[in-house]
């Protein structure tokens, strides 16, 4: 068998495979893992939502709706735990994806009344 014959044979096999694939049940090809929906938190009037429950894998985005600057700092005041720590200037945003289950405390390092948790399930 020559190289050309071999190539033609292979092309034929691919064409047959593709034809079979097109008649397969949709479930066989549609298999991306379900993705957690993104969650938006508006930081407003010097407040975080006290607690928020989210599923694992959720990307949380904080948006500062105040004219004052805040921070989104993980840990329990005054102890940063190093998971995340971002300034949040007026109109600024910060995003973090919670991959693991648990309860995650965070606070604003500029305003002592701003303390909250995210519970990931």
The residues that touch Cu ion, with contacts defined as CB under 5 A, are 70, 108, 110-111, 114
Of 95 and 115, CB closest to Cu ion: 115
Three-state DSSP class for 7?
A: helix
Q: How far is the CB of 112 from Cu ion (least distance, A)?
A: 9
In angstroms, the Cα distances linking 103 to 9, 17, 108, 120 are 58, 49, 17, 6
Q: Identify which of residues 57 and 93 has a Cβ nearer to Cu ion in the complex.
A: 93
Q: Which is nearer to Cu ion, 70 or 106 (CB)?
A: 70
Question: How many beta carbons lie within 10 A of that of residue 42, not counting itself?
Answer: 14
Helix (H, G, I), strand (E, B) or coil at 5: helix
Which residues on neighbouring strands pair with residue 106, listed in sequence order? 74, 116
CB of 45 to Cu ion, least distance (A): 11
Q: Supply the Cα-derived Rg of the chain in whole angstroms.
A: 25
Q: Closest approach of Cβ 93 to Cu ion, in Å?
A: 15
Least separation in angstroms between CB 116 and Cu ion: 11
């Amino acid at each position: 068998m020559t190289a050309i014959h071999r190539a033609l044979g292979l092309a034929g096999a691919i064409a047959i495979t593709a034809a079979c694939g097109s008649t397969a049940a949709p479930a066989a090809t549609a298999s991306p893992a379900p993705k957690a929906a993104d969650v938006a938190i508006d930081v407003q009037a010097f407040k975080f939502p006290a607690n928020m429950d989210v599923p694992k894998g959720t990307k949380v985005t904080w948006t500062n709706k105040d004219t004052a600057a805040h921070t989104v700092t993980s840990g329990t005041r005054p102890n940063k735990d190093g998971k995340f720590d971002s300034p949040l200037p007026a109109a600024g945003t910060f995003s973090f994806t919670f991959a693991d289950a648990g309860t995650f405390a965070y606070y604003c390092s500029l305003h002592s009344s701003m303390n909250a948790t995210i519970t990931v399930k």
